[in-house]
Chains A and B, each alone.
Chain A
Amino acid sequence: MNDTFDIRSAETHIEVYKFRMGTVVIVTALALFLQAMFPIHVPRLNVLDLPLLITIYFALSRRNPSTGLLLGMVIGLLQDSLSKTPLGVFGISKTIIGYVASSIGARLDTEHPAARLALIAIFFGLHQGIVVLIHRVLLAQPEPWFTTGLGIAAAVNAFVGVLLFILLDKLRKT
């Protein structure tokens, strides 16, 4: 059986990547573990949203909307359960991000670092928008749509994400 396969259309040729067994589980667990350790041991890194970066990466790589949204849902719910937010806040937002990222991944080549940088920043903004929307509409909690801190966080996540994605590329099956 082939490790990778191609989505071929009239004009595009986009490769779908697969990973070694257990990679997704281990990387997800590691991301959640690190995310929970940052506030205690390295508060400066608290601006990072590793679970979001992992969701975007695997969704873009697998390029399958169903897989992307289910992975996003699981990662989001796990993040919720390690936070104090009600279950579903990050679950919903990462479900949508997983779906959108994998849909875009199926249509565009997202391997170039510049494309990744832009996509991560956009997805970070979208994710934040969904989280704020849920807080405002479903939880009746007034959250600001945008702060300078969020702008900086989007930029930091985009830069760190590009580097992280290069590392994660090494885990792909060749």
Chain B
Amino acid sequence: MVAIPSRHKSLVLLTGAVLLQVLLLAVQIKSDTRGSLIRVWTVTAISPFERAGAWCIDGVKNTWHRYFALRDTELKNENLRRQNDQLKLEVNQLQSKAGEADRLAALLNFRDAHKQIPMLAARVIGGSADNSSQAVYLDRGQRDGIERNMAVITPDGVVGKIIAVFNNESQVLLLTDKESGVGAMLADTRVQYPVGGAGGKQLMLKYVPNDDPVNLGDKVVTSGMDRIYPKDLPVGTITQIKPNMPFKEVTVKPAAAFDHLEDVIVLLTMQPLAPKNEPEAQAPANAAKPLPPPAAQQ
């Protein structure tokens, strides 16, 4: 057997360690797995501390807000009451308009349909350990019925989708991640474009031809075509449009508050969510059946 000089042992060890990990990477890419066993161990070991950390931080925040930051509460209460009255008025106006507009009617139907959609509230307990990706961990997992590719939302808008599920935790790929995407459309014109993350705080509306009419302030909602996110959920608002070749660069400010995600809703279904009382008679006789849930992507 060839003896390795002691001064070269560490170099041999380095080469072995790097090759081993390259092999590990290759296996994951080839078999589309993400080394679940090591991940399960690590997440299981770290998540109790994350839960405890989240609990402590919440405690400190609550103590601060409830006992030390009450100086302006009276004024804030008054402002909130006023805002509430204003919002009630706006809701009433919207409800009256809904009867006249087909799109809003469909939206309301969809809202009705939401009552039967199995949903699960979850708390964000941790983030990704690398600063280049945008993912968070939830305190709910397989035991709560969560599966990969399920949609995660907040009342404000779309948050992301489940990319990994553990017994008691799950990992969400946020919409702002560079590898994330959602089938979307403009709320007014109903023209469809995909929306993807840009790796920062903003989203990008992709493949918008230069002659397509897109305006600042336009609302972007989900199209439901990706079979992950239900139709008509708010995605964001267009905040910047730059002409470029071959497509415009359209920046979208997300509707969901990604800066302080705390509680989210997981839609416990991967079936397409059609409006509840959409007249079946209107559907063509040979309408295509809903596609099965998407195959695992990562």
* Interface residue ranges, A against B (CB under 8 Å): 29, 32-33, 35-41, 43, 46-49, 51, 64-66, 69-70, 73, 77-92, 95-96, 99, 103, 131, 134, 138-139, 143, 153
Contact A36 B35 (CB under 8 A): no
**Chain B residue nearest in CB terms to A78:** B42
Contact A47 B131 (CB under 8 A): yes
User: Given the complex, which residues of A lie within 8 Å of B50, measured CB to CB?
Assistant: 33, 36-37
Distance A166 CA – B135 CA, assembled complex (angstroms): 32
**Chain B residue nearest in CB terms to A69:** B14
Q: How many A-B residue pairs have CB under 8 A?
A: 144
Known: A32-B46, A69-B13. A84 touches B35 (CB 8 A): no
Contact B35 A95 (CB under 8 A): no
CB distance from A99 to the nearest CB of B (A): 5
Residue in B43, B126, B133, B163 whose beta carbon sits within 8 Å of that of A81 in the complex: B43
Contact A84 B43 (CB under 8 A): no
Contact bitstring B50-79, A, C-beta under 8 A = 1, else 0:
100110010000000000000000000000
User: Given the complex, which residues of A lie within 8 Å of B135, measured CB to CB?
Assistant: 83-84
User: Given the complex, which residues of A lie within 8 Å of B298, measured CB to CB?
Assistant: 84
User: Given the complex, which residues of B lie within 8 Å of A131, measured CB to CB?
Assistant: 132
Contact A87 B34 (CB under 8 A): yes
**Chain B residue nearest in CB terms to A45:** B131
Distance A73 CA – B13 CA, assembled complex (angstroms): 11
Known: A81-B42, A82-B43. A33 touches B127 (CB 8 A): no
Q: Which of B21, B42, B163, B177 has the most A CB atoms < 10 Å from its CB? A: B21
User: Given the complex, which residues of B lie within 8 Å of A38, measured CB to CB?
Assistant: 127
Contact B21 A85 (CB under 8 A): no
Residue in A39, A70, A139, A143 whose beta carbon sits within 8 Å of that of B127 in the complex: A39
Contact bitstring B126-163, A, C-beta under 8 A = 1, else 0:
11111111111100000000000000000000000001
Contact A87 B259 (CB under 8 A): no
Contact A89 B171 (CB under 8 A): no
Contact B261 A40 (CB under 8 A): yes
Contact B17 A84 (CB under 8 A): no
Q: Does B247 contact A (CB under 8 A)?
A: no
* Interface residue ranges, B against A (CB under 8 Å): 9-11, 13-14, 17-18, 21-22, 24-26, 28-29, 34-35, 38-39, 41-43, 45-46, 49-50, 53-54, 57, 124-137, 163-164, 171, 173, 177, 259, 261, 298
Q: Which of A64, A73, A96 has the most B CB atoms < 10 Å from its CB? A: A73
Residue in B10, B42, B126, B163 whose beta carbon sits within 8 Å of that of A40 in the complex: B126
Contact B49 A39 (CB under 8 A): no
Contact A73 B21 (CB under 8 A): yes
**Chain B residue nearest in CB terms to A30:** B49
Distance A73 CA – B134 CA, assembled complex (angstroms): 23
**Chain A residue nearest in CB terms to B13:** A66
Residue in B10, B128, B163, B259 whose beta carbon sits within 8 Å of that of A82 in the complex: B128
Contact A79 B9 (CB under 8 A): no
**Chain B residue nearest in CB terms to A100:** B14
Residue in A39, A47, A95 whose beta carbon sits within 8 Å of that of B128 in the complex: A39
Residue in B10, B26, B129, B164 whose beta carbon sits within 8 Å of that of A36 in the complex: B129
Distance A79 CA – B39 CA, assembled complex (angstroms): 10
User: Given the complex, which residues of B lie within 8 Å of A86, measured CB to CB?
Assistant: 25, 28-29, 34-35
